[in-house]
A and B are shown apart, each in its own frame.
Chain A
């Protein structure tokens, strides 16, 4: 009998302990996911650390704000009072500023927004899939333009919101309406070191044709020692870790350079079974060939992003093939001498004078979430006090026309001049088929290595690769 009682007790404790493990999850699901994602995410150690801190912060903030929300709920401002909502952010570098933004929102309106940050470029969308399967969707989340169709029918239509009148950059889908809120504008083209160009007597505004570039590159190459340059260009075609740069951003220049913001000629052609315009691609390839020739040979084939940006910051390269997201790394570098910088177009055909600028990703609202609260928050973000944080603290460039703040970004002046002149092209490279960049970046690498010998071979190879990929 004693044995029986003992076995019952043992079995009982086992079941209870299991139950304890199971039921403790239900209460605080948001916090645990934030923590989990923080530990799982190891794209970069820094990012992971940041998010981990962020997760802790969010927890604390959530606790504090929950109490505060109750107190202030009664005296909520004109925007009305809403339940707490969650925002999934995909840019770890602005996590702290977004936490400030949430705190400010609470202070001004009494409503709570919890910011969860996932680092890296593809991982936010992966994590979203997990969250969707676990029925744990945030109310506002980040997507890239070509991911919209995956979420067909699950995104709230934001048309008619006041902020849509104030920007040209919202994401509009034919069937779903206005679905994406632009929170920043990013630009990419050939970033240049203005001081070096000035010393060499080159006016960047004249760089609008392949010939002008040829002359400029030759001049710079001849004055390398004088200017302290290692090479004219810091261009890196390494495919394993920098495939996103060549396969998405540089390839995007073929799709958009020289076109108006809403001109989709080449992306439409591409998405129609993977066709390319051969003449345009050959010109593009010739230009890339010239870049290969004047790039730092040590960097060209197996350099890394860090080497590329560090070299530019140290003044070793006159040009670098990145976008304005390098600003923080460049200005924080100990080798940075304070030189001015700007963007020059990829002028692979005569008269190309635009840079690619626009939101690389958007905030969208989950239609089964708290749509009204999310809309109120997005409207507030487009207004003055939020823009102050995003522009001045986070260093983002505002997509809103009436934003009165000039970004701290050293590229801002250059980007602004293109935006004011209407010389910006779209980020249509984000609309290409998922994963295409991993195919095309290899062709760039082979071209840089010399196993693809000339522009014609490059064109025929990339045409074959793209057509093959779209055929699958």
Chain B
């Protein structure tokens, strides 16, 4: 028994050291910029050997943990590469004067203080909040009404459900260009006759803002409607029957039974519309690209009348080539969204307990 164990121990140690050496050599080769293409395979082989060494080590203590880690590794690795590392790097870059290629100095909080003195950014924050409020109310209202419509016994129910949901399947950019065409080639035909305005409503800041809201509702209401339909279908039939027997009319049933019963659905939908409206980018880009003038905002003539936060961050970084400044704005954006999401989780959890 002892001999067997020692033998096992020796193989495991050989595996461990062999694996470690392979890994180190592969990493050194990589940092030296070597052209040898098998260094990746070497690294992986090293890792496998190390694992095998650890696993064959004569102790069963940590086997379960090791297996767990091995199985979680692909996901954790991808998550780290695509989310965690970029987030940390991004926050780091926001304290520098990075221009997308290199940075020359660390500027501390300068980007953060600068962002609150930039009128165009303040304007973007303002209209983003306005947009979020309008959308949260309007999308939910429209979606709920559509859901009520789609839970009645009308003919062609499936067709209506599908067609209300369809706009959600079209990508935002495509949808934006379709609506841009409609606004500048079809709607103008009517406005020219009715109010003698022969240019599209997209070229005026106020009406362009309304246009974005309309398109957004058109795109998003169908999706929220589906969630409401599911919610309305979970309202127990016996409760509805009982209320009908007690003589409740349709309005009373709706306000006193259906709406209270789907309170949790309303919370979910509210937060869904809230976060997605905050992140609005593609429709904004395709419809107006943030253009529109504001003659007097804090004493400035602004030219980004319809530019919302996400688009503002994009154009700061990519168009104006101020990557670090864009990063700083993105960090603020992240903080806002994170706060909203945490709030959402808290509230939903509380609701679940109550139910």
Contacts and interface: CB of A to CB of B under 8 A. Distances in A.
Interface stretch (A283-291, A378-386, A445-453): A445-453
B47 A15 contact: yes
Contacts of B200: 301-302
A399 to B, nearest CB: 26
B40 to A, nearest CB: 3
B44 A16 contact: yes
B301 A461 contact: yes
A241 B319 contact: no
Nearest to A460: B301
Contacts of B43: 19
Contacts of B51: 11, 15
Nearest to B325: A472
B301 A19 contact: no
Interface string B85-121: 0000000000000011100000000000010001100
Interface string B165-208: 00000000100000000001000100000000011101110000
Interface in B53-67: 55, 67
Contacts of A461: 301
A238 B303 contact: no
B300 A12 contact: no
A25 to B, nearest CB: 8
B347 interface: no
B343 interface: no
A241 B101 CA distance: 27
B248 to A, nearest CB: 52
A126 interface: yes
A360 interface: no
A20 to B, nearest CB: 9
A241 B200 CA distance: 14
Contact of A451 (B77, B287, B293, B319): B293
Given A129-B100, A240-B291, A443-B293, A26 B37 contact: yes
Given A8-B55, A468-B301, A449 B203 contact: yes
A22 interface: yes
B159 interface: no
A445 B55 contact: no
Given A129-B100, A301-B199, A464-B300, A240 B40 contact: no
A256 B290 CA distance: 28
B29 to A, nearest CB: 11
A165 B344 CA distance: 68
Interface in B68-94: 70-71, 73-74, 77
Nearest to B180: A240
Contacts of A443: 293, 301, 303
A12 B48 CA distance: 7
Contacts of A12: 48
Interface residues of A, number: 48
Given A11-B71, A297-B198, A465-B301, A18 B44 contact: yes
Contacts of A434: 319-322
B275 interface: no
Contacts of B291: 239-240, 243, 438, 441-442, 445
A129 B101 contact: yes
Nearest to B45: A19
Contacts of B202: 240, 302
A347 B334 CA distance: 50
Interface in B4-59: 37-41, 43-44, 47-48, 51-52, 55
A439 B67 CA distance: 57
Contacts of B222: none
B264 interface: no
Contact of B303 (A15, A19, A150, A438): A438
Interface string A405-444: 0000000000000000000000000000011001111110
Given A15-B44, A446-B293, A435 B301 contact: no
Nearest to B69: A11
A14 B77 CA distance: 13
Interface string B314-350: 0100111110000000000000000000000000000
A126 B293 CA distance: 27
B293 A442 contact: yes
A27 interface: yes
Nearest to B200: A302
Nearest to A22: B40
Contacts of A339: none
Contacts of A439: 303
B203 A302 contact: yes
Nearest to A11: B70
Contacts of B198: 297-298
A7 B290 CA distance: 55
9 contacts: A11-B51, A11-B71, A19-B43, A26-B37, A129-B101, A302-B188, A302-B203, A445-B203, A446-B293
Given A243-B289, A302-B199, A442-B304, 13 more contacts: A12-B48, A15-B70, A22-B44, A23-B37, A122-B318, A239-B203, A298-B198, A301-B203, A302-B202, A302-B203, A434-B319, A439-B303, A461-B301
Interface of A: 7-8, 10-12, 14-16, 18-19, 22-23, 26-27, 42, 122, 126, 129, 132, 150-151, 238-241, 243, 297-298, 300-302, 434-435, 438-443, 445-446, 449, 451, 461, 464-465, 468, 472
Interface of B: 37-41, 43-44, 47-48, 51-52, 55, 67, 70-71, 73-74, 77, 99-101, 114, 118-119, 173, 184, 188, 198-200, 202-204, 287-293, 295, 300-301, 303-305, 315, 318-322
Q: Which 3 A-B pairs have the closest CB atoms?
A: A435-B320, A23-B40, A19-B44
